Amino acid sequence: MPSHLRSELRDAGFRGEILSEEPLSAYTTWRIGGPAEVLATPVDRDDLALLLCWAESVGARWRVLGNGSNLLVRDEGVRGVVIRLRRALGEIRAEGSRIHAGAGAALPAVANLAASLGLAGLEFAAGIPGTVGGAVIMNAGWHEHEIGNVVEEVETLEPGGAETTLPRAACAFGYRATSLRGRGSIVLGATLALRPDDPTAVRARLAAYAAARRVSQPTDLPSCGSVFLKPEGDFAGRLVERAGLKGLRVGDLEVSSKHANFIVNLGRGTSADVLALVERIEGEVLRRFGVRLVREFEIW
């Protein structure tokens, strides 16, 4: 990052941390990714609004980074500004049967708080390695459960710095999709409407979901989460396994032997390895079953 831009951002009043050419591999769950030209971490909402206005005023492209799951950063890195939200928007607070969570809050932490308060509806989120903001934008879920089912409203920061609140209906929640993608705004947080239940029962369900995830998924190795969306009438993992691709490896990336819809990084994996492996899987599943798999992860 040229020093005059760093000085310009500071002179504009930005109070957060600014890092130049920071490797993003440390910030993604796949542990893969080249450097960000600028990695900026605002300290609060005002700092975030200032950063967004500054980036737009100088014509810098910006992207928002949550926990780095469902994301592949290319080996050559990212130009422009990567905005890391966790410090600025990590608040979680409960009001009756509702929980207000900032976009940077870890989803498992919100689920744990809900369980401790005897609030049901978020148990499925145990172990999902994402933030509230990312989960809301992609309507994250597990099996038949989705976060969109409990979202009451979503707060966003619009271009120019104005904050707005969207009701659930305006977000168009679908399978791993919402209308929040591509709006040019930043999700600031969400209000989750849960239902009162016995705390012991909620905690037991939360623990059961977490245990099931550990048994069925390779949680001990870096991955992005599920690689492919569920195809109509089937499961991506089942198709990949039927194609005999469990254990298939390119470089240090491998189709998990525990769950075939996960690709794990065995140590020194690269984005090129990921894409080569994904393309081989897509080609083989299409050849064998006539199914075109759709990627669930985003590529920067």
Strands (E), 198-252: 249-250
Which position has the token pair 């691709």? 245
> Among the options 25, 69, 223, 226, which is catalytic?
226
Q: Are 152 and 88 in contact (CB under 8 A)?
A: no
Q: Are 285 and 240 in contact (CB under 8 A)?
A: yes
Active site residue 176: yes
The DSSP-derived string for 153-171 is EEEEE-TTS-EEEEEGGGG
> Among the options 8, 152, 296, 298, which is catalytic?
296
Structure tokens at 300: 């920067």
Residue 178: closest CA among 146, 149, 138, 125: 138
> Among the options 6, 98, 176, 205, which is catalytic?
176
Neighbours of 214 (CB within 10 A): 14
Q: State how beta strands 71-72 and 298-299 pair.
A: parallel
DSSP 227: S
Q: In angstroms, how far is CA 123 from the centroid of its own chain?
A: 18
Positions marked catalytic: 176, 226, 296
